[in-house]
Structure 1
Amino acid sequence: MTIGVFARRARLSPKALRLYDRDGLLVPAQVDRFSGYRHYTADQLDTARLISRLRRLGMPLDEVAAVVAVPDPRDRADRIAAWWSGVEADTAARRSLARYLTDTLRGERSTTVTNIQEREWQVQEREVGDQLVLTEQRHTTVDGLSAWIGEGLGRLMRSAGTTGPGDEGAGASGAPFVIYHGEVTEDSDGPVEVCLPVDAAPPGVASRVEPAHREAFVRLTRGEVEFPQILGAYDRVDGWIRAQGHTPVGPPREIYFTDFMGAAPGDEVCDVAWPFR
């Protein structure tokens, strides 16, 4: 079939077929070497229609290519289902963020950040001394943030010979923390720094001194660390600092003082802290 005939049978435009050819999603069965005309066969129609429907789902072209490359239909179905689960989770997070923003702008208590209503997140203060820390820093957008934090802290802990928070005696001298030197969104990439306090830095591992400071913080449970609940914690600390007539100095941070993965939703796991003067 010519590209025009095939496009009509597949219910696609020739423009779309040329795009799929360019990206290697659906390569013509034959291309005339003199005219450049594309020709397709009937057994390519199912693939063309699958691509079209995946695109209507909003699936990116690279993920469509991954689905099409899977030969077994059941495995294709599993991959589509996994991708759609991610879409639904992302939609739920965006819905919660939209509700949080509208509640905040209206001056109402957030119906999303339920734990603020339950216990009002008491802001505390503390002095933090100089800390020698092992460090990794990276520019990352929100999609890669969680994975990189886990990987980065894991590398630092292995370098220090510790298994995690609560195992300071093996090499770490304090709880690991994550510093946000810039906003992390779909458009802004930080940078973000993971830090592990140590008594002495192993050879070949990047380290620096985190200077002494005074900081305000709130303590969160594992359930409250989830997005967008955690945004309320940052707003709470920032608002408290300004209400007290202080000035935020340095970037905010999250301090993980216990085993996050092993914690229950109601267990306290993290401080959201902000240095101030």
Structure 2
Amino acid sequence: MLTISEFGRRSGLSHKALRLYDVSGLLPPASVDPVSGYRQYDEEQLERARRISILRQVEMPLATISEVLAGTDEEALIRLDRWWAAEQATNESRRATVEYLRDRLLRAGSPGLDPRPVLVRDVPETKIASIRVDVDQQGLMGVIVASTLEIRAHLTAAGAGLTGESWVLFHGAVTPESEATVEICLPFDGLVDPAGPIGIRIEPAHTEAYCTISREECVYPRIMLAYDLVQDWVRDAGHPTTGPSREIYHAGFRDLTDSDPAVDVAQPIKPPPNKGQR
């Protein structure tokens, strides 16, 4: 058995951190003296403590650390990779936002989005697996990436057929200051059961107005110009909306170049008479 001082020295964790991890249930001591309150740790806890220390150095939240360390090393590796992919996506999104702002400052008065048509198409009834999350703008891209990876792994393990597309449905206004519910969806074919946060449902057939943007245009706040374009068209055409707005990520999105068509910004609408199709 090791005292808290010896355990902290060997694990690289301070007394304050060890007490916090005890209270949170992440790393309780092996025993606590009922009279003095002195904590003692088992030497076998050192590996877990060192892993916690490393993950805290990369600013992983305590709740995520608990999830990463909850299962086998193989499961921990999968959860770690998903978290890191989400972190990279968030950082990339922030970088692209700064680049957009720099461009706007350098080219004041220039349009932020080149003109493009708004088209109308029919979308058939579609089986989807989805995760719903409440998130703000800063965490959005990370949530999209992590949820997409989790859903895809579940569908692949179940032997489902994937279309390659992924959808993000916005059930409220996601802003830098406020959270709203988003639904990350993957269309699929086959029989798959729900699991944990992953639900299975049918997205009804609908008609939607949409415009297509490139990968480099898929960054906040630039992407909002595409939403404005679609919403203005829907309003001017007088078509009632019939569902939440959404982003349809094309197959192979992560491998596309900045100039490639990558995302459709879409709004379900009441079908117009004699509508044009893509």
TM-score normalised over the length of structure 2: 0.54
Structure 1 residue 97 and structure 2 residue 90: aligned? no
Partner SS state of residue 139, structure 1: strand
Structure 1 residue 14 and structure 2 residue 7: aligned? no
Partner SS state of residue 115, structure 2: coil
1:1-277 correspondence to structure 2 within 5 Å: 2-3=3-4, 13-40=14-41, 51-52=52-53, 54-65=55-66, 66=68, 87-101=87-101, 104=104, 108=108, 121-128=114-121, 133-134=125-126, 139-140=132-133, 141=135, 142=140, 143-146=142-145, 148=147, 151=151, 164=163, 179-184=169-174, 188-192=179-183, 206=202, 208-210=204-206, 215=209, 217-221=210-214, 223-224=215-216, 227-228=218-219, 231-239=221-229, 242=232, 246=236, 250=241, 251-255=244-248, 259-260=251-252, 264-265=256-257, 267-274=260-267
Instruction: Give the C-alpha shift of residue 34 in structure 1.
Output: 3.8
Over 3 Å counting, the alpha-carbon distance change for 1:135 and 1:51 in structure 2 is closer
Paired residues, number: 239
Amino acid at match of 1:133: E
Over 3 Å counting, the alpha-carbon distance change for 1:13 and 1:109 in structure 2 is farther
Amino acid at match of 1:18: R
Identify unmatched segments of 5+ residues in structure 2: 188-199, 273-278
Matched residues in 1 for 2:117 and 2:146: separation?
A: 29
Amino acid at match of 1:92: E
Amino acid at match of 2:125: V
Structure with the greater alpha carbon radius of gyration: 1
Root mean square deviation, CA, Å? 5.5
Q: Check the 8 A contact 2:169/2:245 in 1, yes or no.
A: yes
CA offset digits 1:43-102 (Å, max 9, x no partner) = 867865664454243222245454698889xxx999979866754443232232244356
Over 3 Å counting, the alpha-carbon distance change for 1:135 and 1:84 in structure 2 is closer
Instruction: Give the C-alpha shift of residue 238 in structure 1.
Output: 0.7
- Higher strand proportion: 2
Matched residues in 1 for 2:181 and 2:233: separation?
A: 26
Over 3 Å counting, the alpha-carbon distance change for 1:3 and 1:237 in structure 2 is closer
Q: Check the 8 A contact 1:134/1:195 in 2, yes or no.
A: no
Over 3 Å counting, the alpha-carbon distance change for 1:185 and 1:145 in structure 2 is farther
TM-score normalised over the length of structure 1: 0.54
Instruction: Give the C-alpha shift of residue 240 in structure 1.
Output: 7.5
